Amino acid sequence: MSHEGIRFVSADQAAKEATMEKRLPLEAVTPAKVRIHKTEGTGVEIDWKDGHRSTWNFVWLRNACPCATCHEDREQSGRKPGEAKPKPQSLLPMYEAPARPLEITPVGKYAVKFKWSDGHESGIYSWEYLRRVCQCGTCTGTT
Ligand SMILES: [Zn+2]
Ligand SMILES: [Zn+2]
């Protein structure tokens, strides 16, 4: 028996693609409170106006950089936002310090920009983008 021709699209992938097309209500993409734990180095927490709460760690956010270069890079390797790059095959595994932001700059009222410890700083993280990549159990369908 052959499984050729069957496309394996997981239900949650399909659901995610459907949500990407949906316009989110304004309260869902407007932060009521933003906490960026730069000193602690943990990550970002947002309480949204619709009562939802999202948290991301900095490494995740670095891997979810929305700039065109990172976006294309992810598309090409089939990674989701936040997914780490596969480590290059090497006999001597190198230690890579986890990404952390050196500077955090608000961009107007709609976004925030990070200058990362690896020197990258072209990604503008809009509130809408962040809400769409919320990692809570409800949004990722894991609870
Ligand atoms: Zn980028
Ligand atoms: Zn969520």
Tell me the pLDDT tens digit for each residue of 13-69.
665 555 556 789 999 999 999 999 999 999 999 999 999 999 999 999 999 999 999
Q: Distance between terminal CA atoms of the chain? A: 35
The encoded tokens of residue 2 equal: 């052959």
Domain count, the chain: 1
Separation of CA 129 and ligand 1 centre (Å):
14
Which pLDDT does position 2 carry in this prediction?
47
Separation of CA 71 and ligand 2 centre (Å):
21
Task: Report the distance separating Cα 118 and Cα 94, nearest Å.
Answer: 15
Residue 5 maps to a domain = no
Which pLDDT does position 23 carry in this prediction?
86
pTM attached to this predicted model: 0.80
Residue 117 maps to a domain = yes
Average pLDDT, rounded, for the chain: 88
Q: Among all ligands shown, which has an atom nearest to the Cα of 130?
A: 2
Mean pLDDT along residues 125-143: 94
Which pLDDT does position 109 carry in this prediction?
92
The encoded tokens of residue 133 equal: 């990549």
Residue with more model confidence, 67 or 96: 67
Tell me what percent of the residues of the chain surpass a pLDDT of 70: 81
Which pLDDT does position 8 carry in this prediction?
61
Residue 14 maps to a domain = no
Residue 90 maps to a domain = no
Which pLDDT does position 118 carry in this prediction?
94
106 — alpha (psi -120 to 50), left (phi > 0) or beta?
beta
Identify the DSSP state of 46.
E
Residue 13 maps to a domain = no
> From residue 124, how far is each of 10, 23, 81, 93, 137 by CA, in Å?
29, 19, 14, 31, 25
| Percentages of the chain per state (helix, strand, coil), in multiples of 5 | 30, 25, 50
Domain range for 104 is 31-83+99-140
Separation of CA 93 and ligand 2 centre (Å):
35
CB-based contacts of 97: which residues, under 8 Å, 6+ apart?
Answer: 117
Q: Specify the CATH number for the domain of residue 107.
A: 3.30.2020.30
